[in-house]
Amino acid sequence: MVIEKDDRLILLTNDDGLYAAGLRTLLEVMEEFGKVLLISTTESMSGMSQALTVKIPLRVKLLEENDKHRIYACNGTPTDSVKISVNQLLERTPDWVVSGINHGSNASASVLYSGTMAAAIEGCLYGIDSVGFSLNNSSPTADFSICKKYIRIIMKKLSLKPLPGGICLNVNIPATKKGAIKGIKICRQAKGNWTEEFEKRKDPMGKTYYWLTGVFQNHEPESTDTDEWALTNNFVSVVPVTVDMTAHWYIDELNSRFK
Amino acid sequence: MVIEKDDRLILLTNDDGLYAAGLRTLLEVMEEFGKVLLISTTESMSGMSQALTVKIPLRVKLLEENDKHRIYACNGTPTDSVKISVNQLLERTPDWVVSGINHGSNASASVLYSGTMAAAIEGCLYGIDSVGFSLNNSSPTADFSICKKYIRIIMKKLSLKPLPGGICLNVNIPATKKGAIKGIKICRQAKGNWTEEFEKRKDPMGKTYYWLTGVFQNHEPESTDTDEWALTNNFVSVVPVTVDMTAHWYIDELNSRFK
């Protein structure tokens, strides 16, 4: 793959690994927009959040190259993959960092745990326009093709004007039939968390172990401006996500408490 | 350890592991405030962010118990440790989740990668008053005792009035001599990121590998209201951190772009 000066250069990754159907769908759509460096892991990295690999060295391997894309395997997290691509593998800073399509929703508080969104946030920290895509369907036979139309719309909008610094997009697509999606809705992250989170078992030696599990609780199901509401009501949700975690509105009150 | 109805119940963890000096310092101070369940890993979990352990089961082991504390080892991330404590190990929801004292700063964008802060964010998602403490000193001989005075001040303030829902505190303490700290400053997260992030090496088989490294760049060293400025100028920085990553101010403009 030769990257010309006028080519749009796209860095593509995910957290479900190289063999995930959602990644292949996103690759197809991204090739319509530019030259693609795809980097991912052989194993799933779901729930890895913004984790960094610091105890073992990173390795990358070029698996495939043609006129349109270059595909690398990496042993690190999605965040590592973005870092090593920007710093070592790419001839120049990419124009976009695109992540997904995640197998399952990353709406509400999932943005905090998601490796998919972490890759977008990492791109954003480098000042690159970045988007994470997720399909609200964890089934092994999930149909990612319904996402294509909305990915195209969103990336066309993005190509007209860059995002402000420090903001990336968290896009969640409802799991419904083609044609049943009502459109795109700009949203805020719903308030929510997980409950009943562990399954306790005994191993063959009689020792206790736990599997992480849990049920998501939307704390504000009645609010119509959240990503959870949009998904439940068959809208594609787009949340502008900031890398600035400061609760700015609370600074004055906190100041008065410390006076 | 018997937990009476009137006892303040404190969940304590970190990301530097059970044998970290900062954890022991924080345990000492927390025992002044209540009964402590301490849970951590035998190995360091630095840079694990909000990562969840989903591929292997979690195990916990009670290591030590006396009138003031109970100490558990866990094989999971700081986020897992908080989750399993709240869901499985504790008789009731703790009053505080306290994390640290981290060996090194978690100011600016480090909040996104930090396992220490992830534990506080996890507590916050459960609706528990949560604070992460870090000392801006990565030296193996770092003196954590200088932190005690400020931890006491902050936790006493917290005991007077709970934080609003969805907000926890990111406290960073400058690495300076006792008496040289100028006070506590409420701050916002500085804009910044890492550059020059990899060291490329060859293994004995001649194959390339990379160590993650890097230099932090403060994008706004002149701003006096940031955590980075506070640390550089010998103030303890306190940033109110929100679990809501929505860039609320950008929602209207994003809406107009999608019309």
Residue A196: per-residue pLDDT: 81
* Interchain proximity A58–B121, CB inside 8 Å: no
Reported as a single tens digit per residue, the pLDDT across A44-91 is 998 999 999 999 999 999 999 999 999 999 999 999 999 999 999 999
In degrees rounded to 5, what are phi and psi of residue B244? -90, 105
Strands A208-212 and A198-202: antiparallel
* Interchain proximity A212–B186, CB inside 8 Å: no
- Three-class SS state of A73: strand
Residue A106: per-residue pLDDT: 97
Regarding the domain with residue range B9-189+222-257, which homologous superfamily does it belong to in the CATH classification? Survival protein SurE-like phosphatase/nucleotidase (3.40.1210.10)
* Interchain proximity B125–A109, CB inside 8 Å: yes
Residues of A in contact with B60 (CB under 8 A): 210
Cβ–Cβ contact A189 with B under 8 A: yes
Residue B43 has pLDDT above 90, yes or no: no
Residue B28: per-residue pLDDT: 98
| Residue A254 burial (CB count, 10 A) | 19
Helix (H) or strand (E) holding B61: strand B60-65
Band of residue A107 on the pLDDT scale cut at 50, 70, 90: very high
**What's the rounded mean pLDDT across residues B1-6?**
92
**Ramachandran assignment for B234, one of left (phi > 0), alpha (psi -120 to 50 degrees), beta (any other):** left
* Interchain proximity A193–B121, CB inside 8 Å: no
Residues of A in contact with B50 (CB under 8 A): 49-50, 112-113
With pLDDT > 90 as the criterion, what percentage of chain B qualifies? 92
Residues of A in contact with B240 (CB under 8 A): 246-247, 250-251, 254
Task: Select from A112, A184, A241 the Cβ nearest to the Cβ of B243.
Answer: A112
- A13 residue type, one letter: T
**Are residues B154 and B169 in contact, defined by beta-carbon separation less than 8 angstroms?**
yes
Closest CA to B111 of B140, B129, B134, B95: B134
Residue A122: per-residue pLDDT: 98
Quote the mean pLDDT of chain B. 96
DSSP state of B255: H
Residue A38: per-residue pLDDT: 98
**Are residues A14 and A102 in contact, defined by beta-carbon separation less than 8 angstroms?**
yes
Quote the mean pLDDT of chain A. 96
Residue B52 has pLDDT above 90, yes or no: yes
Residue A18: per-residue pLDDT: 96
Residue B174: per-residue pLDDT: 97
Q: In sequence order, which residues have a C-beta less than 8 Å from that of residue A162 and are 6 or more positions away?
A: A129
- A71 residue type, one letter: I
- Three-class SS state of B225: coil
Residue A43: per-residue pLDDT: 86
**Are residues B58 and B88 in contact, defined by beta-carbon separation less than 8 angstroms?**
no
The rounded distance, in Å, linking the Cα atoms of B210 and A56 is 9
Q: Which residue has the tokens 């220490």?
A: B116
Residue A177 has pLDDT above 90, yes or no: no
Task: Select from B189, B211, B240 the Cβ nearest to the Cβ of A250.
Answer: B240
Surface of B (105-124) touching A: CB under 8 A: 109, 111-113, 118, 121
* Interchain proximity A242–B246, CB inside 8 Å: yes
Cβ–Cβ contact B16 with A under 8 A: no
Q: In sequence order, which residues have a C-beta less than 8 Å from that of residue A63 and are 6 or more positions away?
A: A18, A71, A72, A73
Residue B85 has pLDDT above 90, yes or no: yes
> Which fold is adopted by the domain A9-191+222-257?
Stationary-phase Survival Protein Sure Homolog; Chain: A, (3.40.1210)
Band of residue A179 on the pLDDT scale cut at 50, 70, 90: confident
Instruction: Report DSSP letters for A169-207, one per residue.
Output: EEEEE----TT---EEEE-BPPPEEEES-EEEEE-TTS-
ipTM above 0.85, yes or no: yes
Residue B140 has pLDDT above 90, yes or no: no
The rounded distance, in Å, linking the Cα atoms of A230 and B251 is 15
Residue B95 has pLDDT above 90, yes or no: yes
Beta strands in chain A (DSSP E): 9-13, 35-40, 60-65, 69-74, 96-103, 129-135, 167-173, 183-186, 192-195, 198-202, 208-212, 215-218, 235-242
Band of residue B196 on the pLDDT scale cut at 50, 70, 90: confident
* Interchain proximity B210–A250, CB inside 8 Å: no
The rounded distance, in Å, linking the Cα atoms of A246 and A71 is 37
The CA distance from B115 to the nearest CA of chain A, in Å, is 8
Residues of B in contact with A167 (CB under 8 A): 247, 250
* Interchain proximity A201–B57, CB inside 8 Å: yes
The CA distance from A200 to the nearest CA of chain B, in Å, is 9
Reported as a single tens digit per residue, the pLDDT across A198-235 is 999 999 999 999 999 989 999 999 999 999 999 999 99
- Three-class SS state of A229: helix
Surface of B (152-181) touching A: CB under 8 A: 157, 160-161, 164-167, 170
